[in-house]
Amino acid sequence: MVRVVMGMAGMFTFLRRFSSRLPTKIRLFTSKEASMIIFRIALILSATLFGMAIYQRTINMWAMKNIGDTFLRKEIGSRQILLGTFFREKSEQNFDGKFVIVHFLGDTRMEHPLYCHTMMANGKTMTTRAHVQRIHRGKRAANDICSWAGHLAECEVEVHTHRELRIGTTADPLESLLIHPEIPKHIRPKADLVVCMAPMYIYIEWEILLLGLETWLSMGAQKIIVPVQSASTTAYSILKKYQEKGYVEIREWPKWPTLSDVNPNGLVLSRGIEESHVNCLLHTKPWADLVVFTDIDDFYLPADPSNVIIGGTPALFKEIFDEHPQAGSLLLNIEIQFNFNFLQNTKFKQNCQVWRMKTRVVVNASRVDSVNMHETGIHRFGYVQVRVPCRKGHFYHFRHSHGTVPSPTEIDMTTLQSILNRSWKKRLFSSLNTIAASQLPPSSIESFEDFDKCMGAINAEHWTMKVSRCLTPHVCFSRLKRDVPCVAARADYAFHFSAISSSYIMTPKVCCL
């Protein structure tokens, strides 16, 4: 308010001086006076606005950052990055014909026309324009810096299309990129429950990885899909072992070519989780019934964990889906945060609260087209997203160490302990026997401490106004002071520049891990 008053006072002085001059002679302002007037008007306006905003508490750091970001502009035309191409399942169609789904990244504020070109039997090219849907609005849709978001495009292709097609931004088949869509695997019966993990980025905590894999497998997941950007060779070799036995599927998840967000953590995690989930969903559709989207350190357990039964989770989810026949997806609350030794040390859980809690998502794969980390998006044929209270079970989260649990209820984890003990013993003598015989570098939680520090630093940085708002605390992840041998997914990006539409279209050619 002080500034408003000062601004007002300034205005009155100004008006008094101005009017006292007027009667004597009317003259043009000198440029110095004109700029002074503009400056003062601007000052008064901004002082009034800021004064009112601060008085009403309608402005905060975020709003001011958004105002700042608005002044940053880029003029680079449209640059879609095609992340994946899939065939639409016949069972999900209510039209005849063959359709292709293209998952791509693009600037939310632009239109992204996309065309599919396929060869017909008579040698002519069939060109169709894709129906494009934006999956979400980007991290912050308001400005240039953060406006990248996933899109789904669907177009009809020639019915015999199988190995390849061309996709471009114009109707001219010459202006296009050769794409190899994913060949769907139709495994019958479909897997009851598949887990899609968030991408691994500098991932080293192999003990947590093992706990995560073993718990999900014991709970009845048939396959765990792990997108890997980078991981320690130890973590990766464990994943490989599980992949050999068919429990895990590793998918290369390369970094995107730098968008305006220069922070690689942001590109893989903060911005990348949603897209990796969509990619995983489209990949699993042909062979999975229910898909759950989660971190390696979240589990779904019955409301009373002492009632946990081996392989019981798919049945729990099925029960909820049966209670809600219109549900395409379920939102389930994330309940507690465990400390690291959660099996032994966790005696309490937070009471169930439905209000404003973070959620995990379970979908019926054939009823949903997009997942947005904590919720779903595009549903098919009138199916809807249903938020279910935690009567039957909860998601338990145990990554972050923490001291106290608000409004605690007692829980008993011994049943889960002995289930895990038994399956783990079996695993050590079967699929993991080679790893069991070798010495692994200790997995430590030093990076968790680092994580906490990082969160603090990010929060502090936000107050300096120097950091882009695309950067969220999600960028905080494992980071080590020591050197750890690791593997990373590498990709060359193939691209085509169309002179007609002055736009780029690109797609990663994933190389290797």
Ligand X SMILES: *[C@@H]1O[C@H](CO)[C@@H](O)[C@H](O)[C@H]1NC(C)=O
Measured from the CB atom, the residue of 23 and 382 that comes closer to ligand X is 382
Could you give the CA distance from residue 123 to residue 382 in angstroms, rounded to a whole number? Answer: 39
Measured from the CB atom, the residue of 414 and 430 that comes closer to ligand X is 414
| Closest listed residue to residue 278, CA positions, set 396, 153, 114 | 153
Q: Which residue has the tokens 């980007």?
A: 138
Helix locations, 191-266, DSSP H: 206-218, 233-244, 264-265
Instruction: Tell the smallest beta-carbon distance from residue 320 to ligand X (Å).
Output: 9
Measured from the CB atom, the residue of 288 and 506 that comes closer to ligand X is 288
Could you give the CA distance from residue 409 to residue 339 in angstroms, rounded to a whole number? Answer: 16
Instruction: Tell the smallest beta-carbon distance from residue 313 to ligand X (Å).
Output: 12
Q: Which residues of 480-511 are buried (b: 16+ CB within 10 A; e: fewer)?
A: eeeeeebbbbbbeeeebebeebebbbbbbeee
Measured from the CB atom, the residue of 306 and 418 that comes closer to ligand X is 418
Measured from the CB atom, the residue of 329 and 507 that comes closer to ligand X is 329
Which residues lie closer than 8 Å to 356 by C-beta, 6 or more apart? none
Instruction: Tell the smallest beta-carbon distance from residue 508 to ligand X (Å).
Output: 31
Could you give the CA distance from residue 441 to residue 493 in angstroms, rounded to a whole number? Answer: 35
301 exposed, middle or buried (CB, 10 Å; 0-12, 13-18, 19+)? Answer: buried
Measured from the CB atom, the residue of 46 and 418 that comes closer to ligand X is 418
Instruction: Tell the smallest beta-carbon distance from residue 413 to ligand X (Å).
Output: 9
Could you give the CA distance from residue 65 to residue 423 in angstroms, rounded to a whole number? Answer: 51
Measured from the CB atom, the residue of 306 and 414 that comes closer to ligand X is 414
Instruction: Tell the smallest beta-carbon distance from residue 318 to ligand X (Å).
Output: 5
Measured from the CB atom, the residue of 315 and 511 that comes closer to ligand X is 315
DSSP-assigned letters across all residues of 282-307: HHHTTTEEEEEEE-TTEEEEESSGGG
Q: Which residue has the tokens 């997942």?
A: 371
Could you give the CA distance from residue 443 to residue 447 in angstroms, rounded to a whole number? Answer: 10
340 exposed, middle or buried (CB, 10 Å; 0-12, 13-18, 19+)? Answer: middle
Measured from the CB atom, the residue of 358 and 422 that comes closer to ligand X is 422
- Which residues of this protein are in contact with ligand X, per CB under 6 A? 289-290, 318, 321, 364, 366-367, 414, 417-418, 421
Instruction: Tell the smallest beta-carbon distance from residue 284 to ligand X (Å).
Output: 13
Instruction: Tell the smallest beta-carbon distance from residue 182 to ligand X (Å).
Output: 21
Measured from the CB atom, the residue of 70 and 93 that comes closer to ligand X is 93
Could you give the CA distance from residue 241 to residue 94 in angstroms, rounded to a whole number? Answer: 41
Which pair of structure tokens corresponds to residue 253? 């998840």
Phi then psi dihedrals of residue 189, to 5 deg: -65, 160
Instruction: Tell the smallest beta-carbon distance from residue 287 to ligand X (Å).
Output: 13
